[in-house]
Amino acid sequence: MRQAQNETQAGFAKGTAVRVRIGVMDPDFPSMHLGGWVGTVARVHKGELAAYLVQWSPSTLKSVPPAIRDCCEKEDIVFDKMWLLEEDLEADLATKRRLQAAMATA
């Protein structure tokens, strides 16, 4: 099956552990750095640009400043997940290794 000309191939599958690249800013709060935030791909959008709904990890959610949570709640913005472009993400190999080790000992 041929891919549509304007459609990109997604680089991360659903369930992939990802980390936000250093230098990426929150699109809703431009002064908020997201670099280093970790999560799991919950949904994939394949279009002209691949985009991913990232469900943030518990450790990342703990690090979200209360002021950001308050602003999100006030503006009805979900803060436990976010759509990001492929160029904003990289594979989170550390989390992948921890999960593989945990599964091997289970």
At residue 18, the pLDDT reads 96
Report the chain's mean pLDDT, rounded to a whole number. 85
Q: How many beta carbons lie within 10 A of that of residue 52, not counting itself?
A: 27
pLDDT exceeds cutoff 50 at 3: no
Q: What is the pTM of this model?
A: 0.79
Cβ 26 vs Cβ 34: under 8 Å = yes
Residues 27-59 have pLDDT tens digits of: 888 888 999 999 999 999 988 888 999 999 999
- State the average pLDDT over residues 89-103: 73
- State the average pLDDT over residues 7-30: 86
